[in-house]
């Protein structure tokens, strides 16, 4: 009986310790990464649609939703945060011209700001 109890107890304790370890915050949290929101300005007579792909504030490689930018106007990709001092992929299209990709460097800056990128 004691051997059976040990066979059940040890895995149960290990599983419990694993769950507690996953539930506690780690030292590499999002507040240690400077991240910004990106604003895209469309300096063109045609409307534009874009999305961003890159590393977010949680160190995850991810993509944003689609955003529309009117002609000669700017749009901020709200609630998407991108690590600064890194490059992101800016994917955009205008009317019937098709999709383009630009690798855009987001310079180092303080956390929580908005960085602007302009296209022609």
- Give the residue extent of every domain in the chain: 30-119
Which fold does the domain 30-119 belong to in CATH? Immunoglobulin-like (2.60.40)
Q: Name the average pLDDT for the chain.
A: 83
Task: For residue 74, list its beta bridge partners.
Answer: 41
pLDDT (tens digit per residue) in 1-52 = 556 555 655 555 555 555 544 444 433 344 568 999 999 999 999 999 999 9
* Cα–Cα distance, 105 to 14 (Å, whole number): 44
Q: How confident is the model at residue 55 (pLDDT cuts 50, 70, 90)?
A: very high
Q: What pTM, to 2 d.p., does this model score?
A: 0.70
| For residues 102-111, average pLDDT | 90
pLDDT of 65 > 90? The answer is yes
Tokens representing residue 77 in the block: 């990709």
């Amino acid at each position: 009986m004691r051997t059976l109890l040990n066979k059940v107890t040890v895995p149960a304790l290990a599983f419990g310790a694993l769950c507690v370890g996953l539930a506690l915050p780690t030292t590499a949290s999002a507040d240690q990464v400077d991240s910004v929101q990106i604003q895209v300005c469309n300096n063109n007579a045609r409307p534009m649609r874009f999305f961003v792909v890159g590393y977010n504030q949680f160190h995850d490689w991810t993509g944003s939703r689609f955003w529309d930018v009117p002609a000669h106007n700017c749009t901020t990709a709200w609630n998407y945060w991108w690590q600064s001092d890194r490059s992101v992929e800016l994917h955009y299209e205008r009317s019937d011209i098709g999709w383009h990709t630009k690798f855009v460097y987001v310079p180092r800056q303080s956390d929580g700001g908005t960085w602007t990128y302009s296209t022609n």
